[in-house]
Structure 1
Amino acid sequence: MIIFTLITNLWMFRAASIYLGSKSSSISYTCYTCATTQVFPFLNKCVVYIMHVLKRGVDLYVWRNIHLIKGRLFLFLMLFILSVMLFVMNQFPYATVGVILIPLAYVLGIYTYRKYLLWVSGVLGEDMVTKELEKLDDSYYLINGVVIPPNRGDTDHIVIGPNGIFVIESKNYGGEIECDGDSWIRYKIGKKGKRYELWIGSPSNQVKRNAKVLKDFILEHGNEIFDREIPHIWVHGILVFTNENVSVSVKNQTVDILRIEELSDYIENKTPELELREEEVRKIGRVIMKYSK
């Protein structure tokens, strides 16, 4: 049953990776211009303006890790099958070797499989956020999965618009989560009904750090962006939970914490500290794409 579950999930993700990968490769680093949809019969003309997407898709680093974990999972699965075959032979010393290898392959396989599910969950969560952000109009620019120097890790999403710059980190966690300032605890219920804690670091510190790096990056390249005196820049950090089965309790929050269905409206209605001109919005996106990884 375990082997069947592993193979089924691998097959399902393979199909998903082909789907997501094809979207990423076909339009990565492509800037969408304003698109229009016209409805003529019996109605007034309806025009829909779609936001600009400068980069879509999952970061290459993420895909490499997912495929690396899939490879390890396949090896442990083969080791488990081989161990069972040795044990079934019931001949010394093969049966003894099988007895030793079966639990080892099982434990390593389960550990790797759980790690694999975490990575896949993150990919699906980021894709959900991208779809939600595409509800914004064409005055906004979206960049996904980009590494801003000197950062080594990627920023999930950057939105640039006339009312501000937004750094968004998506989390596809399920279960119960408690936040007090920058301290985070995630709780899950085990098979025996026991409640236990999972370490998730500090997502709020992560998004604040990425926002600070982006702000410094924009100021560093300010002469390429602004025709006026370089203004004081605000970069808003947003933490988005994409899993509908998550319960988040927050005290003393240090960043904006939203559910995915609130995201596009929140950005659109955000009161700007500094209004960016249309050309400045475009140049910020261009500079990020030029110097980022």
Structure 2
Amino acid sequence: MAVYGNSIIEVGRQKGYSWEKGLEGENLVSDYLNTLPKDYFDYNDVNLPGKRGNIDHVVIGPTGIYVIETKNYSGRYRIKGNEWLYYKHGKYKKLKNNPGTQVRKNTVDLINFLNEKGISTKNTWITSLVAFICPDFKVLKTPQTYKVLIPKTVPQYILKGKKEQNMNLLVRAALELEPCCVELTVAR
């Protein structure tokens, strides 16, 4: 029984470390997003009703809507289109559940949520981004349905986006999203 108990404690420590490291990454991205102008709404830790998991960041502003998945990984990664590869035991192995798949799922969930609220996203630019914190990664072939950026370049990318014509729609989306946002602050 003691061995079983110790293994549960160790798994909890590992998951806790992973959660803590993830939160560190999300806080870093949030700090960069806080540099955006006042006409951008920045939501952190968004929990959509009826969905498991969360969306790390959603930004709504004059250049559209951005769904951002933050990953704070160590190791060696290569991104080849929508395929993520991780270096282990002398070779690259394909990741089954990769951040690109996660951010696209989160984007679809957000689109469905807004559509259910009567907000048509048909003519609105919604961009999926992965903010990747990893010292050794390389994009070999650009993914087709999302961008992979380092955190400090995320605000610049957002600001360079195409200006949206329907600001009323963006304001409505921001208001609907507000009750789904959870702000978690950790004293530093």
Q: Assess same fold via TM > 0.5.
A: yes
C-alpha distance in structure 2 between counterparts of 1:231 and 1:249, whole Å: 29
Secondary structure in 1 aligned to 2:68?
A: strand
1:56-113 deviation digits (Å, cap 9, x = unpaired): xxxxxxxxxxxxxxxxxxxx9xx6xxxxxxxxxxxxxxxxxxxxx5xx6766555443
Q: Which amino acid aligns with 1:267?
A: I
Tell me the CA shift for residue 200 of structure 1.
6.0
Which sections of structure 2, spanning at least 5 residues, go unmatched?
183-188
- Which of residues 84, 91, 94 is equivalent to 1:184? 84
Quote the RMSD (CA, aligned, Å): 2.8
1:238-271 deviation digits (Å, cap 9, x = unpaired): 011124x232333241211101111110001112
Q: Which has the higher contact order (CA 8 A, sep 6+)?
A: 2
C-alpha distance in structure 2 between counterparts of 1:231 and 1:198, whole Å: 33
Distance 1:153 1:110, change over 3 A: closer
C-alpha distance in structure 1 between counterparts of 2:180 and 2:12, whole Å: 35
Partner of 1:283: 172
C-alpha distance in structure 2 between counterparts of 1:106 and 1:219, whole Å: 47
Tell me the CA shift for residue 141 of structure 1.
0.2
Tell me the CA shift for residue 145 of structure 1.
0.6
- Which of residues 230, 243, 246 is equivalent to 2:136? 246
1:203 counterpart = 2:92: no
C-alpha distance in structure 1 between counterparts of 2:32 and 2:5, whole Å: 41
1:88-144 deviation digits (Å, cap 9, x = unpaired): xxxxxxxxxxxxx5xx67665554433222111111100001000001000100111
The answer (yes or no) to whether the contact 2:44–2:181 under 8 Å persists in 1 is no
- Relative to total residues, which structure has the larger helix share, 1 or 2? 1
Partner of 2:185: none
1:146 counterpart = 2:41: no
C-alpha distance in structure 1 between counterparts of 2:161 and 2:85, whole Å: 29
Partner of 1:215: 111
Partner of 1:118: 18
Larger C-alpha radius of gyration, 1 or 2? 1
Q: Which amino acid aligns with 1:257?
A: V
Q: Which amino acid aligns with 1:217?
A: F
Partner of 1:262: 153
State the aligned residue count: 180
TM value normalised by structure 1: 0.54
Partner of 1:21: none
Secondary structure in 2 aligned to 1:114?
A: helix
Q: Which amino acid aligns with 1:133?
A: L
TM value normalised by structure 2: 0.81
C-alpha distance in structure 1 between counterparts of 2:122 and 2:45, whole Å: 27
Matches within 5 A, 1:223-238: 232-238=123-129
The answer (yes or no) to whether the contact 1:128–1:242 under 8 Å persists in 2 is no
Q: Sequence identity, in percent? A: 26
1:224-248 deviation digits (Å, cap 9, x = unpaired): xx9xxx86223110011124x2323
